[in-house]
Structure 1
């Protein structure tokens, strides 16, 4: 993935952006400087909380989940709360304490058939969090950044503009083809859903808006679109942002062993996630 940006060169507050060819060059340079560090902006901050609001609808079928997360401490502990907005019983909490050799997953009531206990444990990755973007607290933000970069690299005209506000914040707008949205797995959809999405829908455009604070840090990253084609209607809304400073109070306590089913190795973990995927209809 490319990266999401820190300090962009900023127009003076209150000044108009250049016009014509000069504007195109100015906006392109501003965007490329921002995008060169986009990934760093998403994955580097520590002792932070994040929020991702995910909504995807195809015709009368939809999903809506809100993912809130925190990472704090050194060595670091992490928690991710994934909550369905359709069914309050459909939730998963992923907890990685700094200490110990295992991480934990809390199963909401919708998943109680998977194991006899509310928690499962599994070995931590041997090398820790090898891929920073694999952590659920930033995963969607990373994939959105990857999609924006791919859209721009495929067609520089995907960049629709860069706007500076009086307070020094900046807003970058890029049109992402729906085909790239799907390819970058911003939402992982069941095969039967993907197979129903034809070329007329795939060529539609999803506007992405990256808002940077005056110091170059990320304020908000959104994708919103509503379109139809090939006999189907699509509506989607994705919103990733940092929400505050994390502390130990954001973390749960390590569950009592009597409440935990241990998945001892990679094979047991793989089987568990296979069964979880089947239950989720994927």
Structure 2
């Protein structure tokens, strides 16, 4: 194999270090050794090494989270679920998608089966499609596919105010370059907001709150966005009108071309009946 950084290769090797961020934390704490030598983020793997986890505290919920999820696709390697609004994907809270996954998905029968883990994020108020890895190898490879931009995401949003028919936004988010493309599919007049637009969004990078920040920056915040919306034009009580609609990628194990969708919520359809 070609030399690969341990922080890339090692995602999903250990059941209790399923994500890239968890691996970096373990490396920082000097918990991982390669051939008995403490590993760092600069350690490369060439093949044939012995990789060991010295110690890792595992945190598991004392009780199971009973939170039914809609499963859109599932096989032995991965799953795709619908994330409702008002729940974190992961984190220290008990009520998270990550904690609900084991009760909603079938356990993989493969030898490297793992506790299922989300491999990307959606904001707390965002609805839509979420990709999950079910084995150590799939978690690692899916993380790499996201990093290499080989998984294509599409979102839909309802925005406020008149917009150009299509365009792109390039800016710095969290001091990192970010890029999004948009296309207005439909617009309707609104007495309160002037105009409401159904917008198709294609993020080319994956920064936190990127789409919300980008649309607000061009004067067209997402309907219901309390954090980035315009004062006096905040829609309360209806949630954020941002929906992760589809994922398109080649299945890393079966090599099948997957185009998975999560249909628009009813509240979108009430504004845009077509």
Whether these two folds match at TM > 0.5 is no
Q: Would you tell me which structure has more helix in proportion to its own residues?
A: 1
TM range (shorter): under 0.3
Normalising to structure 1: TM-score of the pair?
0.20
Q: Tell me: higher relative CO, structure 1 or 2? Use CA pairs within 8 A at least 6 residues apart.
A: 1
Normalising to structure 2: TM-score of the pair?
0.21
